[in-house]
Chains A and B, each alone.
Chain A
């Protein structure tokens, strides 16, 4: 019997609710957490809206030293790690630490910490030769994104393989896929895995401004993230983290763990086409979906819900709609498809992990989260995108997909056990 990984713990720090249950409440209510940016003054930016996390790291349990040392992305990751571990009911200290793996995804690492320190070191951009005497001791920890995995690993005292996966906006899905692989191949018995990003910072906002990828709908931020809607005009930046506890299925059953879902299959493909562009036929994403389905030993009809990438760019929405049809055929028209980015924005690498968390919760609770703000569907997007209202729905298999800069296309199948 092949080893499989199951999800036994979930922790979420997301816009609109800084823990798992408030996140789920927001999803089923179809509430949007997108708003005018408050984390810094966004004047001068084209897009001045984001889905921000109302987050107090001290209240969330971090010490003052941890708050000083960790940038916002690391704080998110550690807080969601603790929620996930507590949720799993696993006593990590009773396990062999060398059998615990950590795989954390992040698209842009500790950019928020890097940028804040840059302002000081460069005297607000006046010096190219930065003044090293203003360097904080943990500056290098911001330079290397692997710090995010270090913080999680130290928090759970893991001594197995630890890695930071950084494949742009598929980082979260890819990190969880990597963790599942470590369990399947027998390298680890438990994996603490997920992703984190905190991109609501001037440089991240500006780089998406420059390529007109983000929504300029500054006057109506609550309705700015409109995946699959004819009036969409780009994605809305988000932030946050989700962390899962994965365990080898047999061991999880033996200890009587509550199992949300099994990681049935995972696959990634590259489009080898363009760093930001997508081919309209959705071929590589369909390839990834097919491979993930094959691993899960299911065909397309075994999928009862698709959590779409649904970023709210015209290019993406049409690309993945084509991919779903390519992989699932006529069944694509019968499967509910939704994008939770309509509510919590697009948190780059973190979003994949948050979406997997949403899929696991959806499977456990048999409720499909909706696509908020979908009033006037794009005629070229003709699937059932679950507009506005959550839906009670029988599900045994769900599909979660992601697309990222660099051409990455990833797909994960979760199954009910």
Chain B
């Protein structure tokens, strides 16, 4: 790590958002400030036969106006959302990829469950009919690398691309890897993630975990840190970010200051979960003290034991109630690979605007969750630094520290 001090800082040059709360960063931000939820009854299939019927869908968004028909035919919805968000992020960054050397650009995305709907359709053709009914695009639409591959082709990016899967934590791992590449000398990395698991198969698989909330009132179903927490709701979409070295992009939305990842000990172990250590490592990587962190965007699983573990870790690092904590994801549901990138975008906007969006839903914190969860209305204060946490099914834990940008400041 001898070159660390010379390594450029990775800044966020542009963002693209496709979320249940909005399909531009601004629309999403306004919805979050207004506490306007994207959770509604599922419309992509008939949910009436299932014990959960709510989710956050990206609705009112004609994807065919955003992605060429030729690409729609050969991709799943998760990739279509990723292609649209990537194009928006590049436009927002004001950079023409044709003017950046091709090997100095890369794409690193997270995917949690790949092309669910496409894959289900093709498996149905196969098992209901015969193998000849499986289409030619199955091999490139279903797999987890589809979005990275398609984005790299569409924008001519030939550098070291990648795909990282760590369920809900994967989005931060992608950003961490993108930052590594910028420090290695790349000029532009398209990163983040989108997921679209709202096909019957993706949904039924989630039901099997018992982690989805069966509460029927959309305002009461996903209540992280609340004494009535009963699980979470799924959502689709996410965010794509363009990272660049600071020297090439003085007018930026924020700086990726630090990153760390860890993993929980095996079930039955008496060792503590990884979240506290991961936060501490990310802060150390960022060169930031706990007191310098102005806001924490929590993973907020809505599962009582996990909420408690996360709240305790935050308390241990920052002191009880010492840092404002928020979880705007109650408005979108959990977006899996897309969740943390969207949280990072929200965090950057919060730093820019000096406004912490509130968490809509929870009212009474569960016993032991001694955190300053921002409730009721947004909280205004000048801020420089935010911490984003993400925890993925099975024990994945990641933390990212971001600093305020120069754009619009």
Contact = CB atoms under 8 A, between A and B. Distances in A.
B395 interface: yes
B153 A186 contact: no
B204 A132 contact: yes
A94 to B, nearest CB: 15
Contacts of B49: 129, 132
Contacts of A45: 131
Given A211-B136, A269-B103, A272-B102, A167 B163 contact: yes
A139 B152 contact: no
Contacts of B395: 150, 153-154, 162
B158 A272 contact: yes
A123 B71 CA distance: 31
A114 B114 CA distance: 12
Interface string B97-130: 0000011001100011110100110111111111
A270 B165 contact: no
8 contacts: A44-B131, A143-B205, A150-B396, A158-B263, A167-B148, A205-B131, A272-B102, A272-B153
Interface stretch (B250-258, B267-275, B288-296, B381-389): B267-275
Contacts of A121: 201, 204
A130 B198 CA distance: 12
Contacts of B202: 143
A157 interface: yes
Interface string A90-123: 0000000110001000011100001100110110
A186 B177 CA distance: 15
A143 B113 contact: yes
B157 A270 contact: yes
B112 A146 contact: yes
Nearest to A143: B205
Interface in B117-156: 119-120, 122-132, 134-136, 138-140, 142-146, 148-150, 152-153, 155-156
Q: Which 8 A-B pairs have the closest CB atoms?
A: A406-B149, A125-B127, A125-B128, A150-B394, A166-B144, A143-B205, A139-B208, A206-B134
A268 B165 contact: no
Interface residues of B, number: 90
Contact of B262 (A107, A159, A210, A270): A159
Contacts of B134: 203, 206-207, 209-210
Contacts of B135: 210
Contact of B166 (A135, A162, A206): A162
A364 interface: no
Nearest to A145: B165
A109 B274 contact: no
Interface of B: prevailing SS:
mixed
A81 B78 CA distance: 32
B158 A270 contact: yes
Interface string A159-185: 111111111100000100010010001
A72 to B, nearest CB: 17
Given A46-B131, A140-B206, 20 more contacts: A2-B2, A44-B130, A109-B114, A114-B119, A118-B123, A124-B128, A137-B208, A159-B263, A160-B262, A167-B145, A174-B162, A206-B126, A211-B136, A213-B139, A270-B107, A272-B102, A272-B156, A287-B103, A405-B140, A408-B149
A146 B166 contact: yes
B180 A181 contact: yes
A22 interface: no
Nearest to B174: A163
Interface stretch (A55-63, A245-253, A273-281, A323-331): A273-281
A98 B271 CA distance: 11
A143 B149 CA distance: 21
Contacts of A140: 205-206, 208-209, 393
Given A181-B180, A210-B134, A407-B152, A284 B140 contact: no
B74 A275 contact: yes
Contacts of A273: 153
Contacts of B170: 146, 163
Contacts of B124: 122, 125, 128
Contact of B264 (A102, A137, A159): A159
A313 B260 CA distance: 41
A144 interface: yes
Contact of B131 (A209, A267, A274): A209
Given A132-B50, A272-B152, A408-B161, A163 B131 contact: no
Given A124-B128, A168-B143, A405-B140, A159 B122 contact: no
B207 interface: yes
A138 interface: yes
Interface string A46-79: 1000000000000000000000000000000000
Given A159-B265, A159-B274, A207-B139, A406 B209 contact: no
A107 B277 CA distance: 31
A15 to B, nearest CB: 21
Given A164-B166, A270-B158, A271-B158, A142 B205 contact: yes
Nearest to A287: B103
B408 interface: no
